[in-house]
């Protein structure tokens, strides 16, 4: 039974990673999660942008970052410029504004390809977890910890868990594709 519990936990973590990765892809709408990966030099320590200032979204395609410490305006602005966001921040002396442009059709299609690739990578990871679980079950059978009937049942459980997790991944990917292709 231990192999199934371990596999379930690992598959859950794989889905959590996929959701986190997909949330950082921008889909034409302002989303504070795109800033999660950006680190700013805060007195010599790389610190996430969300920890050095307040992030708000007054409009659907606008993010405003108001640093708690006004001296952090320029470092935050530089960190955003260096990042792979592709957005030029505007600094008015009090806050930094990030205007998210509408995505072109070509950029949307590129993003959909990225989403599908991340989904496929997650499925590969899930299948690897299933393989590890089945190997563990076979080892338990060989060591005499489980009977042959139990081995079959456990392998079926591992397969059902894999199938349902892959369905979840497909749904997450489809939802993200739909969000990206919305105009």
Phi, psi of 55 (to 5 degrees): -110, 125
CATH, range 32-99: 3.30.1360.40
**What's the pLDDT at 124?**
94
Secondary-structure percent of the chain, ordered helix, strand, coil, rounded to 5: 65, 15, 20
**How many residues are recorded in the chain?**
183
User: Hey, where are the domains in the chain?
Assistant: 2-23+104-181, 32-99
pTM of the shown model: 0.68
DSSP 167: H
Render each residue's pLDDT in the chain as its tens digit; 183 residues. Answer: 588 899 999 999 999 999 888 877 766 667 777 777 888 888 888 888 888 888 888 887 888 989 888 888 888 888 888 877 777 888 888 888 988 777 778 878 888 888 999 999 999 999 999 999 999 999 988 998 888 899 999 999 999 999 999 999 999 999 988 888 876
The token duo for 90 is: 């505007």
Place of tokens 């504004």: 97
Distances (CA, A) of 149 to 57, 155, 159, 162, 171: 57, 10, 16, 20, 33
Q: Does domain 2-23+104-181 have CATH number 1.10.132.20?
A: yes
Contacts of 86 (CB under 8 A, 6+ apart): none
């Amino acid at each position: 039974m231990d192999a199934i519990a371990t596999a379930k936990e690992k598959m859950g973590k794989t889905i959590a990673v996929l959701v986190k990765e997909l949330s950082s892809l921008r889909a034409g709408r302002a989303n504070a999660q795109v800033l999660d990966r950006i680190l700013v030099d805060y007195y010599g320590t790389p610190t996430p942008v969300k920890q050095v200032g307040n992030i708000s979204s007054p409009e659907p395609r606008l993010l405003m970052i108001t640093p708690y410490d006004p001296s952090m305006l320029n470092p935050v602005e530089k960190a955003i410029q260096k990042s792979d966001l592709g957005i030029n921040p505007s600094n008015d002396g009090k806050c930094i504004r990030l205007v998210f442009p509408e995505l072109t059709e070509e950029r949307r299609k590129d993003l959909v390809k990225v989403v599908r690739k991340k989904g496929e990578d997650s499925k590969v990871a899930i299948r690897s977890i299933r393989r590890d679980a089945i190997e563990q079950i076979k080892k338990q059978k060989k060591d005499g910890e489980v009977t042959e009937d139990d081995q079959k049942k456990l392998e079926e459980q591992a397969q059902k868990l894999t199938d349902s997790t892959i369905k979840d991944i497909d749904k997450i990917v489809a939802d993200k594709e739909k969000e990206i292709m919305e105009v």
